[in-house]
Structure 1
């Protein structure tokens, strides 16, 4: 049986796919026979300078274990594995969200594996960019432009107020042609279950978007950002009028967490469930099938502490209606740990409200094996102790591991590295990316401060 032709495709574009740019067509007149003709041009003149093109360079690294027979013949010093590096290039799009600080939002898959990131502005300038942080599970990344001034930022709309049928305009860099604008409508909201990302709450649009549009802007007729284009559904990755964007509210929440913590501090509600169908809604005294059905509340979770029960139907978050369990999952995960949210719930046919303080996901813990060989065997997480000291805590440590041999202990809090303060995992990663030959870790252990030197 042949595989179906319809496939989901991330929109970043390999550079080998670039074709020659086409010339723009002449603009329509603003009036005909002294009558005004509708045009998007005035709005686009204000918005398009905020949408940029992104070019990356990097290396794909592949590792292959060498057969033991090779080491037998060539001696124990022969490498245990062969490492091959394959250079690659790629293209995508991005959106300036803070002109003063030079912050640009794009997709994680656009910059994944990049050693060099170059951004071309709408006026033709090219500037380098630094990766502040990214989140693979929601496909969002935040960049900072270096030495760039006179930038234009885009205003972020409340994506929770969108309705099916609202007009939408997509701006990006499809096929490497350069900045391109297409228009359409919002076709659907709260799309999930597509297996494109881990947390899905997509805006669906029929505005034509194609490969290379990843990270580009989806805006409303006021020129406000309503979403970041991320994927398409079509034969061989081509446009068939079904594209998906990450809602602007999710983008804003994730970007703020990356700025504050260096990573996404994912929130957890602590419920399991599924989509609400007509039979379930009728059985639990609910009049529509919009909402998230709770089949289980996890022990000692945020949901249990707030009073939620199995059989509840969650219908809103902070006064905004939700349609599906997938939408609930995505919004909770991107709101951030420690946030207090108000959940609208239907229980036994009656409406109730619960204030829930979200817990931190265990997935925010990071194994240190890939950070530095001297830290192998440790697991880290962001922390703030009772004195208000922020740092990176050793949450677990394998016995006789490299990290343990260097003297690291479970419960240690890393607060400095080579005389630079470390307040979170993002700062630790950034410091280790410079590949220092020696690590002088400043450690808070109980009430003492000590240094561990790792080579």
Structure 2
């Protein structure tokens, strides 16, 4: 089996430059005059390693993680047999950590077959293939430890496959396959002390990857779907209170008026148990699947109401994504890119990207954070944020939604 799969897994080497901006103390401008710059811009070259998977041999398409190629201006791919090619970035999605590359002038490639990741079961055997620590292609084995993992604050849309197959630095973007040699997921992250492997690795399900790749190829971007519900996991306590005999699914606590869910007839108290006929286990899994299916798609949702199961069809709305450089709003936010955000009854400003070592990074902002408040004022969009910052307050206290938590970030 490995003889047919290994040629489809590649090593990726990237080069780029990190641009960092450091704020100059106001005292410098006092001594050297108003023309003295308010910030210092530094560029630092970097190199990185990762893995990728050939999904279309004829067209030379490779899937990897967004974080593998982020900020890269040169991408070099080495095939299993040693051949090397330059690659170009076709598109990527930082929120789900997926990127699509295309090899230039490559021939005689081997592509991998896709499995149905919705058919996976805990205990299934898996094999991880990648390029850990730049050592070259390495194969490890294990089982699926859990499915539908979310709430890890690794990505904004989380529906991870958890495996105990050894995954280390450099495995990112590599293949997680079943015993038939079919791709079930793209390896993306680990949890462990000091970033080391302790048998807890995570992969993005291949069905999720397929949906994202199709959108990149069709539209050149991700057109994220929005259902318009809030909720959480179906706990045993909730199941007992509502008299449900199931122990999985997404509990709907609120339906946004005039949303796709509202128009489809979904109500608070419903338990959503399937998407297009495929079972879901958690609210995080529902959220990730809806987001990656894409705006404008008609989706069938299986739900339980009053102990009866029914199917409703909802046409997904799209998320608003007007982007802006953060330094145009306030110098203390230099190094970040922001966008309007409106999804599942949460409105605010999303941090699309944060340059490493920038002022924004120094203050603790991270990619995919959602700014929902500033100095006790509600922030619903970029215009709200701009108006609040125009008064030039001395201290900025941002109310930020990060994953499933709400935190405060102080900027002086």
Band of TM-score, shorter chain: 0.7 to 0.9
Which 4+ runs in 1 deviate beyond 4 A?
Answer: 67-78, 368-371, 377-381
Deviations for 1:317-346, whole angstroms, at most 9, x for unmatched residues? 111111111110111111111111100010
Whole-Å separation in 1 of the counterparts to 2:316 and 2:230: 15
Q: Could you list the per-position Cα deviations for residues 211-246 of structure 1 after superposition, in whole angstroms to 9, with x for gaps in the alignment?
A: 110000001111111000011122211111111100
User: What residue is the counterpart of 1:35 in the other structure?
Assistant: none
State the alpha-carbon separation in 2 of the partners of residues 352 and 152 from structure 1: 43
Q: CA deviation at 1:184?
A: 1.2
1:363-419 per-residue CA deviation (whole Å, 9 max, x = no partner) reads x33237799xxxxx99899xxxxxxxxxxxxxx998xx9xxxxxxxxxxxxxxxxxx
The alignment covers a number of residue pairs equal to: 337
CA distance in 1, matches of 2:225, 2:282: 18
Q: Equivalent residue for 1:228?
A: 186
Q: Secondary structure at the match of 1:236?
A: helix
Q: Distance in 2 between matches of 1:120 and 1:173?
A: 11
Match of 1:163 among 115, 118, 121: 121
What pairs with 1:307-346 in structure 2 (closer than 5 Å)? 307-346=265-304
Aligned counterparts, 1:1-40, within 5 A: none
TM-score by length of 2: 0.77
Q: Shift in Å at residue 135 of structure 1?
A: 0.8
Equivalents in 2 of 1:70, 1:122: separation in Å?
A: 54
* 1:114 shift after superposition: 0.9
Q: Contact 1:131 / 1:143 at 8 angstroms: preserved in 2?
A: yes
1:74: how far off?
5.0
1:367 to 301, 309, 324: 324
Candidates 293, 300, 303, aligned match of 2:251: 293
**Residues 379, 44 of structure 1: alpha-carbon distance in 2 compared, 3 angstrom cutoff:** closer
- Residues of 2 paired with 1:286 and 1:272: CA distance? 19
From 124, 130, 137, the counterpart of 1:172:
130
What are the equivalent positions in structure 2 for 1:72-151 lying under 5 Å apart?
74=32, 77-151=35-109
Q: 1:370 to 1:117 in 2, by over 3 A?
A: farther
Partner of 1:44: 2
**Contact 1:167–1:185 under 8 Å retained in 2:** yes
Q: Is the 8 A contact 1:284 1:347 kept in 2?
A: no
Q: Give the whole-Å Cα distance in 2 for the aligned partners of 1:275 and 1:147.
A: 48
Distance of 2:142 and 2:31 partners within structure 1? 66
For 1:423-438, list aligned pairs within 5 A: none
Residue 79 of structure 1 deviates from its aligned partner by 3.5
Once the two structures are superposed, the pairs formed by residues 266-281 of structure 1 within 5 Å of their partners are 266-281=224-239
The 3-state SS of whatever aligns with 2:67 is: helix
Q: Which is greater in Rg?
A: 1
Structure 2's unaligned 5+ residue stretches are 329-336, 342-380, 387-412
Secondary structure of 1:148 counterpart: coil
Taking a change above 3 Å as real, the CA distance of residues 321 and 137 of structure 1, as seen in their structure-2 partners, is: same
Per-residue Cα deviation, 1:291-312 (whole angstroms, up to 9, x for no partner): 0000000011000000000000
| Pair 1:244-2:202 in alignment | yes
Please report the RMSD computed on the Cα atoms of aligned residues, expressed in angstroms.
Answer: 2.3
How far apart, in 2, do the equivalents of 1:380 and 1:143 lie? 27
Partner SS, residue 100 of structure 2:
strand
Q: Confirm whether residue 261 of structure 1 aligns to residue 191 of structure 2.
A: no
Per-residue CA deviations over 1:5-55 (Å, capped at 9, x if unaligned) read xxxxxxxxxxxxxxxxxxxxxxxxxxxxxxxxxxxxxx1111111100011
- Partners of 1:157 and 1:233 lie apart in 2 by 25
Shift of 1:125: 1.1
Find the counterpart in structure 1 of residue 391 from structure 2.
none
What's the CA shift string for 1:165-199, capped at 9, x where partnerless?
11111000011110001111111111111111111
Q: State yes or no: 1:306 paired with 2:278.
A: no
Distance 1:80 1:147 in 2: 46
Q: Helix, strand or coil for the counterpart of 1:303?
A: helix
Task: Report the equivalent of 2:169.
Answer: 211
From 288, 298, 313, give the equivalent of 1:355.
313
Structure 2 distance, partners of 1:228, 1:397, is 34
